[in-house]
Chain A
């Protein structure tokens, strides 16, 4: 069966510090991968998605970037965090169907 791993679960970072969040999927190959952010009391905002290694589509211009160095690995990064980067970050994947399955999420607090 397929599983998605996302870490860390929680993160507290100072303004201006770098960020690296990692997501990996097991049990499938060539998944579509997604990064979302959910700010407090708000909906899911799609940040990036990838349909293959090295292929990244950005949905919202901002202080973040994404990379897909391996087939089942998706990384969200920032060089300098802003207060507005705080939120709940979710990684998701799809396989042959278009159903998206989510990881457990990372709660990021930028102070």
Chain B
């Protein structure tokens, strides 16, 4: 079964620290990878997309992709209390003309002031 697994959490970090969120996926053919943030009671919002091996940085967020290890991660630098949310990893399992994303169950992050 094609799956996306995230570290179960919850993850708690102090304000200003680096939060590291991890995700593994089962299908080597996957081509597109996404991180969404979901505040309690709200819908998911896209933080990062990444398609190639390596790092992609956007402000305090860095996504890292290693297709050989089937691993994608999200680093949040200088974590703020407003970063407290559930982070969802999503993968276009199978890639190509597959129109669907498979989501992990999410990791709850709490940033303590």
Contact = CB atoms under 8 A, between A and B. Distances in A.
A52 to B, nearest CB: 11
B43 A90 contact: yes
Contacts of B88: 43-44
Interface residues of A, number: 21
Interface residues of B, number: 19
A49 interface: yes
Given A49-B99, A51-B99, A98-B32, A43 B43 contact: no
Nearest to A41: B105
- The DSSP consensus for interface residues of chain B is loop
A105 B103 contact: no
Given A98-B32, A98-B92, A99-B34, A46 B43 contact: no
17 contacts: A34-B100, A42-B105, A43-B104, A44-B44, A49-B99, A51-B99, A94-B99, A97-B49, A98-B32, A98-B101, A99-B34, A100-B46, A100-B101, A102-B43, A104-B43, A105-B43, A107-B41
Interface of A: 32, 34, 42-44, 46, 49, 51, 59, 90, 94, 97-105, 107
